[in-house]
Structure 1
Amino acid sequence: MYQASSIILFVFNLLLISAGPIRGEQLIVRETIPPVVTSQRVQSTPAATMKCPNGRTVEAHIFFCDTSDAPGDPNLATRQYFENTTRNYIFGTGENGIQSWFDYYSHGKIRFRYVVHPDWLRLPKTQEYYLKPLPGKPKSWNWPEWIADVTDTLLAAGYEHTDTRLPIIINPPNSSKVFMGGGAIHALKVNAPNARFLHLGGGIYLDDSDRYAYLRNEGVVIHEIGHFLGLPDLYNGTRGFNSWDMMGGAYDAAGFCGWHLHCLDWLDKSRKRYVVSTGSKPQTMTLTALSKGEGVFMMVIPDNPAKPEQLRSPWIIELNQPVLEREKNNGGPDKHILLPEATGVLVYRLEPDKNPVLQSYFREIPQDKTKRKPRPDYLNKTLYGPGDIFKNPEAPFKMRVLSIKDKTANIRLIIPKP
């Protein structure tokens, strides 16, 4: 029995890596990708059911909140600085403005404009109070109470929330950096008693000094707006998705991965395929980079090809987007190296039921690093290049990368007929 199984496996691999083009029968490819079915314990579904405000303008309402022990600038210098930054950079249409980014990824489906509320709003408790760690969590701070107080403060000031309004809370530069969670913008989901206040963006630490210059990276703002659009974080320390998506690495990523673009309805039908089966023989298929604007960018494979209408933990294949990699510099500042677009093929899987809090519900499937020459960059080790074969005991398919040239990859894929 063992000998027969070995022979079958050998023939299967031989078909996969054969050099000539092979056209199998009963290739089943669909344009429509069904939604992902999850258990009730999952807080929300990472499927194409998000209520993205496509075709509408999102109003970013900028509020300035301070505390009695960290008061805002009475001359409103902070507000003026932020308004200039907002107009020219964050919501600008220039090369580094987020509107340009969203124009590219959403194909112009979503637009932003900002509304500045000029007066400082005083929170009811002190910064010192909010900074007290939560019971049993010495490294935390009183985040839930801060959320509740900010919500009440905005509602008392007359703010009315809609699904196209994004509140962003600005704290003064003299507030604690720890209080601001490292100085970035935080997006929080808030269920106010009147159910009108659904999303809250909070906390940008503003400073003209160079030491906080990294905070002006528009990726942080895009990451938080991603939460507003319904996307979760893709990191929790152990199952991170690295920087293949802005929700996993806001400082290094270029954009959203294929599945998130699909969920937001930002990926045209012509750019994605639902590959159910290749029949009895491998099929040569082509992937093209997102920037090319045409051709198939993402392929989705069901976790159970026998029941393709019931997606639970699908597999995704796509070409990588550009990403910055960090490389240690002998005790000095980290070096940043650009990993270009279409360097390799990325394979990942959705596993929402294994992570019900929806942090890192993606799992990237790296190569067997023992069979590959070592490289200094960890992201590159995840990608599959020409000659590499993907095979995983959990996967219903095998793949070999034949070639990558001019932002186009040819792969040989086999999904046996169930």
Structure 2
Amino acid sequence: MSDTSDAPDTPDTPTPDTSDTSDLAARAARLDAADELAFVRDRFVLDDDVVYLDGNSLGALPRAVPGRLAEVVEHEWGRLGIRSWEESGWWTAPERIGDRIAPLVGAGPGQVVVGDSTSVNVFKALVGAVRIAHADGPGRDEILVDAGTFPTDGYIAGSAARLTGCRVRAVPADRIAAEAGPRTAVALVNHVDFRTGRLYDLPGITAAVRAAGALAVWDLCHSAGALPVELAAHGVDFAVGCTYKFLNGGPGAPAYLYVRPGLQRWFDSPLPGWNSHAEPFAMAADYAPAEGAPRGRVGTPDILSMLALEAALGVWDGVRIEAVRAKSLALTDFFLECVARYVPAGLVESLTPDAHAERGSQVSLRCAEAEKAMPELIRRGVVGDVRRPDVLRFGFTPLYTSFAEVRRAARVIGEVLS
């Protein structure tokens, strides 16, 4: 799709007044020329005719992945077969890849294990946290849950509560710090709200929950890979996250689990599979948990998707997460400015906070015609998604999104909504 001038006016299709937008293209060019991360874009397979703003649902394909998958299938599986568990390092992949993710979430070696889905890891973390809380004494029978959480987290919390004799109490995420009390066993919080893109105060909420004698479990699905997280520095107890959004691991890529080092020996996983046994090949009838990160494993790792993720993580070589955050804020600032200039007043309302301290790496626009508008945006080469009933959602992946694309996307939004 060429970046041409706006379509001509028609009597019954008003267009926004773009007479004052001539500076935006020049500014986008200057920002792209100064972009510290511009070199990373070539590490992805991208369509120059498409502005891809859905990396907060599924990241773009890293160029290294197809070749690596072919090698795994043709050589490691096809020729070596079962020998690859040792000779190709398949057995140690969950911890090895966890160590690759660890710096992106502010964790150390041996603190992150990769495997299973986010939902499964939320379940492990919640039940494990409640068991630790119960071991400290009776009376903690409450799981606090972010009231705006992604639905699955709420479903899992309800199941964990039924299994552990707790009750779930849903409160707004920004009230969790104040609501945590003597009955709270654990709080489950999303770092970034999936609908609005609001970033919550991980250090402050974690400290308040800990001060109340409870534990905190953080869902990092919409923050890891988009901004600094610093799990160890802020004393986070448990964290989980997916790898197919800002970490670009591919559809259905395995998730990860973080357990604070001081809690690892007390972590009693509700899913004690043979892979997390201290001697997995002893095939013992009694369970003895492994030490460290392997305690978070369950069953046989999903090797194909896991090794695709490992190859995908190569895009982070030479990338500073601080530079990613700086560009994320610059991209979203510029997008909001362009939307204000290209989209007629009153057609959209930003649900994403203006304050940098409260913004993730997405912008959500409330729009009455959202469900009709997004298919047309996609047809015109601007890919985002919709959250019903009326939210247009756009994710900004700093590793491959340019400022020129941001301007183009806002201009097309203005055309479609007009």
TM-score under structure 1 length normalisation: 0.24
Q: Tell me which structure has the larger Cα radius of gyration.
A: 1
Q: More strand by proportion, 1 or 2?
A: 1
